[in-house]
């Protein structure tokens, strides 16, 4: 009887483990990307870690290997949220997300506190450890102007990143975002999302990164016009 119970417990444990899979993401944030940072060890480049500011000193809340926090979601064909998780994004642009092994296809949605969000161009089969690479010009992102080229990899291929400047998370970079930046200049701390370059404080260096997108009214789109983001 004890052997049978042990077998049942082991089989149940295996079944539980089999119900999740790993979604591997690759993406960069324009405000944190380091130009000309590609190398043999990091072929597509690196990002700076977003800093907090405590007692007059910049610190990193999660360790130097992490760039920032992103929200990763799986959405159905109507863009309803099926799964959502806050995740740490590594400075090399990678992020591994443990998701339920749905064995069906969903759109992948990623957002950050001060960058334009992005959807995958097509639904992705969530099973067998899927991968979604938003850093390369492979049409992975929905909407042709959803990202900006920030550099080249070691093979001189373009590297793309999410547009900076969507401070109010409206899906547009516009005067509302600029006003937030203007009203929080010289404030320091991670809670101030107008700190685009992640140095810990809001200043002119942040405005210089996203001001062009304010003028052009940079935006992004999603597959479901009535349910965005």
Q: What is the pLDDT of residues 119-128, one digit of tens each?
A: 999 999 999 9
Number of structural domains in the chain? 1
What pLDDT, on the 0 to 100 scale, is given for residue 58?
A: 87
What's the pLDDT band for 169 if we cut at 50, 70, 90?
very high
Query: Given this model, what pLDDT does residue 14 score?
Result: 44
Q: Where does the pLDDT of residue 137 fall: very low under 50, low under 70, confident under 90, or very high at 90 and above?
A: confident
The percent of residues above 70 in pLDDT, for the chain, comes to 92
Mean per-residue pLDDT, 70-99:
97
Residue from 112, 141, 116, 137 nearest 223 by CA = 141
Does residue 222 lie within any of the structural domains?
A: no
Greater pLDDT, 120 or 228: 120
Residue 76 is assigned to a structural domain of this protein: yes
- Whether residue 14 lies inside any domain: the answer is no
Q: Is residue 206 part of a domain?
A: yes
Query: What tokens were used for 225?
Result: 């016009």
Q: Which two tokens stand for residue 221?
A: 């789109």
CATH number at residue 177: 2.60.40.4130
Q: What angle do CA 33, 213, 152 make, to 5 degrees?
A: 35
Indicate whether 224 pLDDT > 50: yes
Q: What is the pTM assigned to this prediction?
A: 0.90
Q: Residue 4: inside a domain, yes or no?
A: no
| In-domain check, residue 66 | yes
Mean pLDDT of 30-41: 94
Cα separation, 181 vs 194, whole angstroms: 5
Among 7-21, 75-89, 138-152, 205-219, where is mean pLDDT lowest? Answer: 7-21
Domain enclosing residue 61, as ranges: 20-216
In whole angstroms, give the CA distance from residue 205 to residue 186: 11
Euclidean distance between CA atoms 226 and 229, whole angstroms: 9
What average pLDDT score do residues 205-212 get? 97
Burial class (CB in 10 A: 0-12, 13-18, 19+), 64: exposed
**Looking up tokens 């080249």, which residue turns up?**
152
pLDDT of residue 184: 98
Residue 93 lies in a domain: yes
Rounded Cα gap, residues 37 and 104, in angstroms: 37
34 or 8, higher pLDDT: 34
Residue 6 is predicted with a pLDDT of 41
Residue 12: predicted pLDDT: 45
* Segment 192-197 mean pLDDT: 98
**CA 143 to CA 224: how far, in whole Å?**
12
Give the pairing type, strands 20-26 and 131-133. Answer: parallel
Residue 1 has pLDDT above 70, yes or no: no
Considering the domain boundaries, does residue 192 fall inside one? yes
Which residues, in sequence order, are bridge partners of residue 120? 141
- DSSP H stretches of helix in the chain: 2-17, 175-183, 204-216
Phi-psi region of 195 (alpha: psi -120 to 50; beta: other; left: phi over 0): beta
């Amino acid at each position: 009887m004890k052997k049978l119970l042990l077998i049942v417990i082991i089989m149940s444990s295996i079944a539980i483990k089999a119900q999740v899979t790993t979604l591997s993401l690759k993406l960069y944030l324009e405000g944190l990307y380091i130009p000309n940072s590609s190398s043999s060890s990091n072929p597509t480049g690196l990002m700076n870690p977003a800093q907090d500011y405590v007692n007059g000193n910049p610190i990193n809340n999660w360790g130097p290997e992490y760039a920032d926090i992103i929200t990763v979601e799986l959405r159905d064909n109507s863009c309803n949220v099926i799964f959502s998780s806050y995740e740490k994004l590594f400075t090399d642009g990678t992020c591994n997300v443990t998701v339920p092994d749905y064995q069906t296809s969903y759109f992948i949605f990623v957002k950050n506190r001060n960058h334009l969000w992005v959807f995958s161009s097509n639904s992705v089969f969530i099973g067998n450890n899927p991968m979604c690479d938003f850093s390369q010009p492979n049409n992975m992102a929905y909407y042709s102007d959803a990202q900006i080229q920030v550099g080249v990899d070691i093979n001189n291929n373009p590297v793309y990143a999410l547009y900076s400047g969507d401070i109010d998370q409206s899906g547009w970079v516009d005067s509302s975002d600029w006003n937030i930046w203007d009203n929080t200049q010289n404030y320091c701390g991670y809670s101030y999302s107008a700190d685009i370059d992640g140095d810990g404080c809001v200043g002119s260096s942040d405005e210089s990164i996203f001001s062009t997108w304010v003028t052009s009214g940079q935006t992004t789109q999603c597959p479901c016009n009535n349910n965005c983001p």
